[in-house]
Amino acid sequence: MSSARALLRRMFDAAVSAAQPAHCLPPHLPEVPKGRTIVVGAGKASAAMAKAFEDHWPGALSGLVVTRYGYAVPCKRIEIVEAAHPVPDTAGMAAARRILELVSGLSADDLVVCLISGGGSALLALPADGLTLDDKQNVSRALLKSGATISEMNCVRRHLSAIKGGRLGAACHPARVVTLLISDVPGDDPINIASGPTVADPTTCADALDVIRRYGIEVPVAITELLESAAGETVKPGDPRLARAETRMIATPQMALEAAAAVANEAGYAPSILGDAIEGEAREVGKVMAGVAQQVALHAQPLGPPCVLLSGGETTVTVRGNGRGGRNVEFLLSLAIALDGHPGIFALAGDTDGVDGQEEIAGAIVTPDTLARARAKGMRPRAALADNDGHGFFGALGDSLISGPTLTNVNDFRAILIDASMGSNP
């Protein structure tokens, strides 16, 4: 029997592999148009998507996509630009402006293929009229620390943008627009994947203003005026400029979880997918998951060991401490504290893009002796959690999960392995 650590890592790798553009994009190619084919896009997977598109497209094409620094993939006909994530920078802003220029003046015979994946909100950064990049950067930092959900953050981002919230799709009119999506959001709603640059937006400036006020986010006067005047309104459902726009979901968190479940089955562990859209404060989700795992271990409910509990989604972290953050490691640290060394329970949590928070670390692994090893080193788990320092905690134990750039992104992956026969042996 493989060790718990090795099995957890194989499941994570399977989840990531299932969302690789080289595998999931080719079946979704649109028909070759009479006119030109322009490829644009943004996200952590956009460069890998561009390469997959180039490799399988039978006709001529040109284009530009923007991805995170370190996530570029060499392409022959599509230009790849790198920019900052999660806080936007000038490179992303310049790329967004160039993308709008590329899709201007098209005809009804032309086709725009938009390659969108998680991370596109920051990478495709073009402030609305009257706003500056500095305004966008400050709001982004505040939102990331506020505890707001991804849908709430993206509602604000759409209404402060000159390209998101359907604006890119509208700019392509009258060309046909086909958006290929890799989902990193709970519910797989296209409006929340990279803040929906090519899809209609039913939310309003008033909704965005409500999010800002609800979380007590301080914003420049220019942002308040933009939202209160409705000058930042997005493209709405029924807009004729989006009549020829369609979306195709090519990879989702559910697909990744199903791939991991197959690996668990092959290893003799019964998999249970608890949900692909779990949200909430990471530390609170950790407590809940610990309770579920203990019920399984002690009472074989809702299933008995050996088994694996799988889940996905995007939790949030309200940053109050001075640590390095990361929602997956915060979840795991809270989980470990709640389990308190329960024998036979192991866990892995990681972001499928290879970056948990702003660290070049995907996540970490918990074993039954995690707390004991930490205390032997003089570490205080509860203090680390209070300081939002999950990365520091697991890094000191040598339990960080480091994958490097995965070139895709279907959000967070969590696996809790329960096997009483393993005891406390990691």
Helix (H, G, I), strand (E, B), or coil: what is residue 142? helix
User: pLDDT tens digits, residue range 171-203?
Assistant: 999 999 999 999 999 889 999 999 999 999 999
Token representation of residue 378? 């003089």
Beta strand 363-366 pairing with 400-401: antiparallel
Q: Give yes or no for residue 130 having a pLDDT over 70.
A: yes
Give the span between the Cα atoms of 407 and 356, in whole angstroms.
14
User: pLDDT tens digits, residue range 33-74?
Assistant: 999 999 999 999 999 999 999 999 999 999 999 999 999 999
Query: Please, which pLDDT band fits residue 421 given cuts at 50, 70 and 90?
Result: confident
Whole-number average pLDDT of the chain = 95
Give the span between the Cα atoms of 280 and 224, in whole angstroms.
27
CA atoms within 13 A on the CB side of 160: 32
pTM value is 0.90
What is the average pLDDT across 79-106? 97
What are the backbone dihedrals phi and psi of residue 224, each rounded to the nearest 5 degrees, phi first? Answer: -60, -45
Query: Please, which pLDDT band fits residue 323 given cuts at 50, 70 and 90?
Result: confident
CA atoms within 13 A on the CB side of 153: 28
Nearest to 347 by CA among 297, 258, 414, 250: 414
Q: Give yes or no for residue 423 having a pLDDT over 70.
A: no
User: pLDDT tens digits, residue range 334-390?
Assistant: 999 999 999 999 999 999 999 998 789 999 999 999 999 999 999 999 999 999 999
End-to-end CA distance of the chain: 12
User: pLDDT tens digits, residue range 205-224?
Assistant: 999 999 999 999 999 999 99
Query: How many beta carbons lie within 10 A of that of residue 320, not counting itself?
Result: 11
Q: Give yes or no for residue 424 having a pLDDT over 70.
A: no
Residues with Cβ within 8 Å of residue 409, at least 6 apart in sequence: 19, 43, 44, 45, 117, 118, 119, 182, 184, 351, 352, 353
Residue 420: per-residue pLDDT: 80
Q: Give yes or no for residue 2 having a pLDDT over 80.
A: no
How far CA 59 is from CA of 35, 65, 111, 226, 290, in Å, comes to: 10, 19, 12, 43, 52
Partner residues linked to 347 by β-bridges = 366, 416
DSSP string of 322-335?
SS---HHHHHHHHH
Token representation of residue 180? 């290929």
Partner residues linked to 114 by β-bridges = 40, 179
